[in-house]
Amino acid sequence: MKEKTFMFISFDSTHKAIHFEKLLMSRFAIELIPTPREVTASCGLALKYEPDDHQEIMTFLDGEDKTGLRLYHYYKKEKSSMAVESEWR
């Protein structure tokens, strides 16, 4: 089975999730999803995007207040999955 991978941002409030969705939705292929269960501290919403868009999204978000936001890379292969926290760059 092929490995499934994507990036996501988790939020500490629904308000922030919606704010960042509005910022990014006109420029990038993003999706507001339930936060993957591997992440416990969250408002329950996450913004999913493709790893190929990562650098451009990080550049676009430069200067935005990222307090309460966490960045993850999600990996799933067959029956195992994990979310690895990444640094903001």
Instruction: Tell me the residue range of the domain where 38 lies.
Output: 4-86
Question: What token pair was written down for 49?
Answer: 């995007």
Q: Any idea what the CATH number is for the domain that residue 56 is in?
A: 3.30.70
- Whole-number pLDDT of residue 2: 61
Reported as a pLDDT band with limits 50, 70 and 90, residue 16 is very high
Reported as a pLDDT band with limits 50, 70 and 90, residue 60 is very high
Structural domain count of the chain: 1
Reported as a pLDDT band with limits 50, 70 and 90, residue 62 is very high
pTM over 0.75: yes
Distance of CA 89 to the CA centre of its chain: 14
Question: How does pLDDT run across 76-86, given as a tens digit for each residue?
Answer: 888 888 999 98
* pLDDT tops 80 at residue 3: no
Q: Is 44 left (phi over 0), alpha (psi -120 to 50) or beta?
A: left
Q: Is 8 left (phi over 0), alpha (psi -120 to 50) or beta?
A: beta
